[in-house]
Amino acid sequence: MVNYILFNQKYLHFLIFLLILFFLFPHQVIIHAEISDSDLNQIEIKSNNIIYITGFTPFFNYSVNPSESIVNELNQTMIQNYSIIGRILPVDFIEAPLLIQGDIKNLDPSLIICLGLDSNCDSITLEALSINLKFNVSDNQPLQTFQRLKRGGPFIIPTRLDIKDMFEDLKNNDIPASISFSAGLYVCNAVFYETLFYLTESNIKTPMGFIHVPHLEDYNNNGMKLETMIDGILTIMLTNIQ
């Protein structure tokens, strides 16, 4: 597994933090909402053939959010015999997860992929886990916003997508890719965690995961072409429906 993990120095402190929590508070940190081996066998693509994908509107001082651009390009298109349905989310801790939950009820999708911008990354970044914490850096008193997303919820819920296969398929298609163990503590992580929590509590076995994308090449020298990002997301979809 180590061969598939690209360790980034900015995540080292986070991994140490998780290890400390695990050894000090094992009952609180153990992922009691993770999917068991028997549940994994039940995660199957449904017959309605809908892939649900989300992105975000621009936030902070960014004039463009590539996750929005990707979703707009893919919305109402087809991949193999699957319809891609897109939703652009507001950068809001409360409204964004609720919109996704409503769409899941209405669409009953076969696959859920949520996208967001990571201004510090330069590759398609596969998020391995979500965290039951939030921190609103845009709040006037951000320290007061540092709290759990769900009281009584597990500290960590892992992705339901196959990180290893997605990483391999992206690399085989010459698309820059990496694996991350921290989706941050902003709205991206909130959407990731709350959607997985909702699916688990509702006993919905649909595969779901979160992908971070870099800035557009035109916006940042370390960015990526929109076409490359779209190819990457389509590759991820194919990995999960084949």
Which one of 114, 121, 194, 212 is the catalytic residue? 212
3 state DSSP class of 146: coil
Residue 237 CA neighbour count, 13 Å, CB half: 29
Catalytic site includes residue 212: yes
Structure tokens at 14: 């986070």
Spatial CA neighbour of 83 closest among 117, 113, 110: 110
**CA–CA distance from 217 to each of 62, 64, 223 (Å)?**
14, 11, 4
3 state DSSP class of 241: helix
Query: Strand runs (DSSP E) across the chain, as ranges?
Result: 50-56, 77-79, 82-89, 111-117, 124-127, 129-131, 156-158, 177-180, 208-213
Q: State the DSSP code for 120.
A: T
Structure tokens at 17: 């933090």
Q: State the DSSP code for 224.
A: B
User: Are β-strands 208-213 and 129-131 bridged in parallel, bridged antiparallel, or unpaired?
Assistant: unpaired
Q: State the DSSP code for 220.
A: -
Which one of 121, 188, 194, 215 is the catalytic residue? 188
Which one of 68, 114, 127, 194 is the catalytic residue? 127
List the catalytic residues: 127, 188, 212
